[in-house]
Structure 1
Amino acid sequence: MKPLGAADPVRIGPYALAGKLGAGGMGEVYLGRSSGGRTVAVKVVRADLAHDPAFRVRFQREVKAARRVSGAFTAPVVDADTEAEVPWMATRFVVGLSLHACVEKHGPLPEDALRMLTAGLAEALLSVHGAEVIHRDLKPANVLLALDGPHVIDFGIARATDGTVLTSTGSVIGSAPYMSPEQAVGESLTPASDVFSLASTVAFAAGGASPFGDGAGAAVLFRVVHTEPDLGFVPESLRPLIRRCLAKNPRERPGPREVITYAELAERNRPAQRWAGWLPEPVAADVLELRATLTALPTPAPTTPLGGPDDPALVGGGEAGVPASHGSRPSRRTLILGLGGGAVALAGGVGAWALSGKGEDTDRTKDSSSSKGGGASSRPSGDDVQEADLAWQVRQQMASTQVVPADGITACVAMGQITGVDRSGNTKWTVKVPEGGMTFAAGSTPMATAGLYDGRLHVGLGMMADFSLSDPEVGESRTALLSFRVSDGKDPRTVELTKAPGMGLSAFCGVRDGLAHVVSMSGQGTASGSFGVWAVGLDTGRTAFYEPAQGTPVSWAIPSTGGGMVYATVDRVVALDTKGAVAWSAKDGTTSVASAGRFVVLVDSKGALSAREPKSGREVWKVEGAVVPSLRGDGIATDTEGKVLYALWTAKDGGFSLAALDVASGEVRWKTPIPADAKGSPYAGARILYADGNVYRMGGDGMIWAFNAANGKPRWKYSGWKSTDTSGLAWSAGDGRLCLSKPSTSTVAALNANGA
């Protein structure tokens, strides 16, 4: 590789800025990453305001107000320096796009999503008001739609309920169409003002317009104060609630808790299940595409002074969270500049919108316990299953988003380096990012950007040199695979992706017959801003083919025979032959695809599991009732020979059963109930692996189970990471052990296959 000589990134405090997310009257918001891989949204004050003492006081008060608020549906402050030469504040990232942008692009939300939106915003206000703060600017542009619910952002004009005003005289005090009447006439405010804004925001989501119309600010404010809202687009089931929230008298409005109860969501105690699939599919697809974009594009930061008038990275931006394009696919510029409060970089796996519901047992997949009566009484408790001991657990300098066991080593893949940990937990070797401005294709959340072949680990590299946010077509993009021996980390070799420029690896899909199949964002011509599939010869160093993807690949399989690759997008399954040409494609509700012997196996959003021939797409067999895979896509597994397929089923008592199916026929070899997750555990989809004669299962409660692959009986369990958010864990099995990584704490651990 030729040296690229990229400039060092701009840093604010401990964070390297990696691209502009939005802009407003106070400053700009950037994507920031700490040296440990933590991703945040960094709000940086404009250079001309940084020297204004009065403005500094206002910013300090904003940070103070934001620090007081912490909740599941807000973006809490994680760091700030209000005394710096250029003041800044960092908040947690939210995986989402603004409500305003989504309604503008896709139209009003359906009724079910509106009910969830209403409850989620009310829960956010509970956190805000519980911290004795009034938001005062709740509007569609300040609401991010994420896979785990709506999030309220931007406390720039918030005020404390004790009367401490956090704005200066003469500053903008809100957005006219979403102000309460008392705010419009300058009266003192109570938390009920935010409830009024909540209702106006929900009404916008239902009809695509403010309930008080458009026009000049003064005219809109007059209608807010003196006229009744137009709620014709609000569903009848929500209309009475929204009308009460829009009462002119704040004392007549319901509180947030009453709003939640009315929306019939207050009694649901399983957050992950509750929010899974709440977004309409087109919106969920945009969210997934956004996070895949950030994963695929480790954008260099601007190298000119922040906030300077000639800084090309600060051109444009507009209202935070509003994409600049309304096309069918967000452009690179739209995805990067239209984030609003930010997004977490994730890649691979199935989007959470697919986790909608659980299947039911069918005659073909009937529980082995049904002849004995079935039900809860036949479900094992797991109390008598032995507790496994950790082989080792270590805390690393960087967060590992993938762990790969092989040759007595666990390779831990992080953005800045890869470490090899031996069977005793000691670091045996470290591979740093090579010189030339590139970085490993890893982020801050679990993702598969590396794979094994012929005793070597192949890891994605990517960069964008001289990238300008004001003109995304400017700059050199490069994507490559770096490989080295797993045993000692030596003998590095590099293979570049050619035929089309890639912009950072999104996923390492697998290797078959010496060809590595990878997904990356394309950076050329009409394909720029979309995804592509490359097949790269690891022995020859040559790119075998490149094919633009028909959407954003979220799951994939490399068939053993009859095809090059099969991938699934949010609404389509596409099969490529060995030359990269599309062999067949079909509109399908598939959420996951995997290789099983000579077939590819698909799981749809309703739990239907089917086997297809990779060459023709012909369905060979189909069974109903499987549990939909998790957003990591690891919900089905096969044995080493590809003859037996393992999957989870939902049993009649509400728990799960583990089943083994014959790959050739789809017939059940055995099926048995497994111990239940802890009460109240979130439903996170199926997560299972096969290796070393074990079927491993990661429960929704964070429990790890090892089952005998011959009959489904539990061999051991590990509860050391119980109650951990399983969506944030990476895992892999093989070479006699199960390896786990928790990127949020930079922790990596291993369990021996026998549990000892």
Structure 2
Amino acid sequence: MSLRAGDPTEIGGYPLEARLGSGGMGTVFLARTSSGRPVAIKLIHQQFAGDSEFRIRFRQEVAAARRVSGAFTAAVVDAAPEAEQPWMATTYIEGPTLAERIAAEGPLNGAGLRSLAIGLAEALRDIHRVGVVHRDLKPSNVVLSPEGPRVIDFGISRAADQQTLTMTGRVIGTPPFMSPEQLQAPRGVGPRSDVFSLATLLVYAATGHGPFDADSPYLTAYQVVHEEPSLDAVPTALRTVVEPCLVKEPEGRPSADQLLELLRDLPVDLGGAAAPGPAPGRTRDVATQHHLATRDTEAPGAPAPEQTGSPGGRGLRGRWRPVLAAAVAVAAIGGGVAVLKAGGFGDEPDDGKARTVAAPAGTLPHGFTPWRVTVPGGQEDIPDELRCVARADAVFCGGGGVVATRIDVRDGSRAWTVKSPGVPVQGMHLVGATDDTVLGYRFPAQDDPEARGDEVVAVDADSGKELWSAVSGAQSTAVTGRTRDAVVFGGDVITVNASDTAFEVRDAHSGDLTRTAPFPAGSRCAPVPVGTRLLAMCATDAELDASEVRHPALYPLDPASGSWGEVIAVDGPAVPVGVTGGRLVLLREHRDGPALTGYDAVVRVDPASGKVAKAPLPAPYEGTPGMADGAVYVSGQTGRVTAFDPATGRRKWSRQTSVEGASGPAAGDGALFFSSATGRVVALSPADGTVLWATDPRADGLNGEQGASPRVTVAGRAVVVTAARNTVFAFDAHRPPKSG
């Protein structure tokens, strides 16, 4: 709707275009950034601006929204909580609210209802993962965008470790979608209150009414606290999942992680009652997992796998487990792009200083037995995934709440662990390792007044003693599509300085600063090793500030002298995926407006000559890109893996697997390994994609984060896998855990 008389014409320097809506606390306007990017600005009503209690709440809303900005929420662009009339600008999400959609077209059903449920559960998972409780999930706070549902409005959210602030004399929320504890004792509300609210939201989406609807808000609130939900009109399969979410006691409900797993196993059509045993329409039937890869893909004569552990004990416990017995075993969707190996990118060797593996190809480390460990981190309530590298008889892992840990590749015993006290940054894992030094990231505790910021930390490989640390900038995700702000390069480590203005070159073991290489004017950069050469991938400040990097540039960089070579222009936004023949390989992004819809071309860059070659793919391919053994791979969310020739863009083969949303590949022992956050692993033949074997989940997993890097490390015949909740396990590639 157009602006009204009395509406401002601009807020915080953003010109206003239209009024999007108004509520009890504020008005939301459509505005534009200087680059033309649309944003939604929430302007608090003037009568609340002088209320100190309300200002505290609004500051908490801004902080919470900043913490949870992700794929299923609206990212904060700017905010001024201390302004005379406070405001906050977020990414504008085009689409109707769930309330508008149901009012206009009636309840959802089938695949649309299932997609909504999964998207909202993923959003809730992301919100809870960073320690925030939303506390106001309702149909008007869900926007149905073309890319999927988005959760908005964190106006009464709170950090899980802070005391709830309630407006004096009021209970804040919307009764039909509030939990019993929120109505009775709002100061004690935790993450499982959101699970209750999400279940009421899904009932509303499926039926057009809530499970506790009554003639007045007071009767509705009474029924929420005391009565059983009305679920007769809910499709049987969905009811099986939402019913345990609506129990009165929070501890009896599943977590958002567990709910997401169960929703992903619903039938695609959400039809009638599920029949016993494997049923048509299910997305993942355990009975067929090992044979899911289309006919004629089983490897003839493949070695019989040996059961080395049980996939059971996956957290389906307590009063709600029996209700969910009909659900099949779960898997999780992962996403992301390839990881920089310690000392090099993709397949290319470096100077040899950081490439020692645990065992020669085709052999097991001496004394190896299958093992599984859980590595304790600094944030026990925010589990994460680790990433590992193999060196001699050790596997070094890090990520999330763990700077680094040393694990014996033979039996899984841990020699030492260095923890990180703060909230993990999504996608930032181990930096790498040399023969004597392990490098990882440390995130400071939020209540630490002496915290310097996110740091790169060097640890002695033998003792685990901290050697040195340095504050590091964090622009790599925006510049390259990866989360990797430091890399091991030979015996050095290349980091971005704290102000995001230069590379710092340090001796990996001593930490001595040997060189500083300032970025080109008006740019920010990330390091990209290409074998024994180093490239800087840069984007302009203007594109980064607008969150739209469309014209990245590459520069050869000499770390010894700090000198920059001539700029190498890259055609369109692109993501580095690996190295072959001394050339950096990138995949060009295919976009529909701001939305990434896949990859449509392979780009090869020769750092020595500056020459760029481009080969189009047969069509845009969506999924997680990676590279191994001279081929490019894209693994889709449904489990399909497609291989491409990086020189021609020609599709070599495409194979359906049972590992949905896997990251990878890792190559070793004549196979390619892809795995998901649940620890489900599939081994494919590099020649034609034949499925050699596949395993069941090994961890209580969930959707892997966008930008996920390969989770498998190969040490000879030993396959070391990282999974959700800091789980690490290993088995013999010739005797994988049995599936089914």
TM-score in terms of structure 1 length: 0.38
TM-score in terms of structure 2 length: 0.38
